[in-house]
Amino acid sequence: MNLNLRARSQLALFAGVYLLYLTGRWVTGGDMDAALEHARWVIDFEGGVGVERAVQDALDSPVSIWLLSNVYLAAQLAVLPASLVFLYRKAPAIYLRLRDTVLATWLLALPIYALFPTAPPRLAGIGMEDTVSQQAGVALTGHSTVFYNPIAAVPSLHCGFAFAIGLALYAAVKHPLARAAALAWGPLVSLSVVATGNHWRCCRG
């Protein structure tokens, strides 16, 4: 199989899984009332309102919020596909592991989103700003929801994919600075999803 045919087969695989994801999302629908109820459950589980707002308030400066808002957008729209392309070309064995991780996680998350739709902190009525819409110039409302699920705040695929990408790139590159940047990617994206109010933190306490 030549390179172009292999590349097209990989693109077709991702497109097929994404269409399956969209079909599952359409079939299950989105219940905002249930999503808000689940968000309140998450707040109670965390021990009350405070952590997400505290993180956003602590980083409430034009530069940091703008940076984190764009990190949030870039994580899925730019860094994930760029990392897959880079690894496909430079480290095929690592690419296959990352590809399988991404696709499997995508499919595993779909029934969770269907059974436990959860509003993100920015929509949960806890006083958080929608910083991505305000700072990055991409509204996370209206027609843009065609490309993402607005009530899928649990689990955070942004965080999961970012840590998987970081580990994959760490294994593929050799330069110490590049390796350090790879390992920092997961924590940076995790900070961005909490600070921008798009996902809940991952643990209690």
Domain boundaries, the chain: 31-195
Element (H, E) at 39: helix 32-46
Amino acid at site 111: P
Q: What burial class does residue 26 get, using C-beta atoms within 10 Å of its C-beta: 0-12 exposed, 13-18 middle, 19+ buried? A: exposed
Instruction: Write down the pLDDT at residue 146.
Output: 55
Spatial CA neighbour of 120 closest among 64, 75, 53, 27: 53
CB 76 within 8 A of CB 149: no
Alpha-carbon span 94 to 123, nearest angstrom: 37
CB 25 within 8 A of CB 149: yes
Spatial CA neighbour of 123 closest among 71, 189, 46, 200: 200
DSSP secondary structure, 68-104, as one string: HHHHHHHIIIIIHHHHHHHHHHH-HHHHHHHHHHHHH
Query: Residue 67 CB: number of other CB atoms within 10 A?
Result: 17
CA 19, 21, 27, 30 torsion-angle sign: negative
Instruction: Write down the pLDDT at residue 139.
Output: 63
Q: pLDDT tens per residue, the chain (205 residues)?
A: 555 888 889 989 888 888 887 777 666 666 788 999 999 999 888 876 668 888 898 998 889 999 999 999 999 989 999 999 999 999 999 999 999 999 999 888 888 888 898 999 988 888 888 888 887 666 665 544 556 677 889 999 999 999 999 999 999 999 999 999 999 999 999 999 999 999 987 544 4
